[in-house]
Amino acid sequence: MNLFGDVPTQLPDEVFTTLLDADNVRIERIVSRGHASPDGFWYDQDRHEWVMLLSGAARLLFEDGVVEMKPGAFMNIPAHLKHRVEWTTPDEPTIWLSVHYGEQQ
Amino acid sequence: MNLFGDVPTQLPDEVFTTLLDADNVRIERIVSRGHASPDGFWYDQDRHEWVMLLSGAARLLFEDGVVEMKPGAFMNIPAHLKHRVEWTTPDEPTIWLSVHYGEQQ
Euclidean distance between CA atoms A25 and B50, whole angstroms: 10
Residue B53: phi, psi to the nearest 5?
A: -100, 120
Give me the amino acid identity at B90.
P
Residue A25: phi, psi to the nearest 5?
A: -140, 130
pLDDT in tens, B50-97: 999 999 999 999 999 999 999 999 999 999 999 999 999 999 999 999
Give me the amino acid identity at A43.
Y
In chain A, which residues have their Cβ closer than 8 Å to the Cβ of B98? none
Q: Chain-wide mean pLDDT for chain A?
A: 94
pTM for the model stands at 0.94
Residue contact B50–A27, C-beta within 8 A: yes
Q: Å from B79 to nearest chain A CA?
A: 13
| ipTM score | 0.93
Q: Cβ neighbours of residue A88 under 8 Å, at least 6 residues apart?
A: A32, A33, A34, A35, A36, A56, A57, A58, A59, A94
**What is the average per-residue pLDDT within A38-61?**
96
**What is the average per-residue pLDDT within A17-23?**
95
**Is 90 exceeded by the pLDDT of residue A101?**
yes
pLDDT for res B105: 75
pLDDT in tens, B18-43: 999 998 899 999 999 999 999 999 99
Q: Å from B102 to nearest chain A CA?
A: 7
Number of H helices, E strands in chain A: 0, 8
In chain A, which residues have their Cβ closer than 8 Å to the Cβ of B54? 54
**C-alpha dihedral, B7 to B8 to B14 to B17, nearest 10°:** -50
**Is 90 exceeded by the pLDDT of residue B103?**
no
**Is 90 exceeded by the pLDDT of residue B9?**
no
Half-sphere exposure of A91 (CA within 13 A, CB side): 5
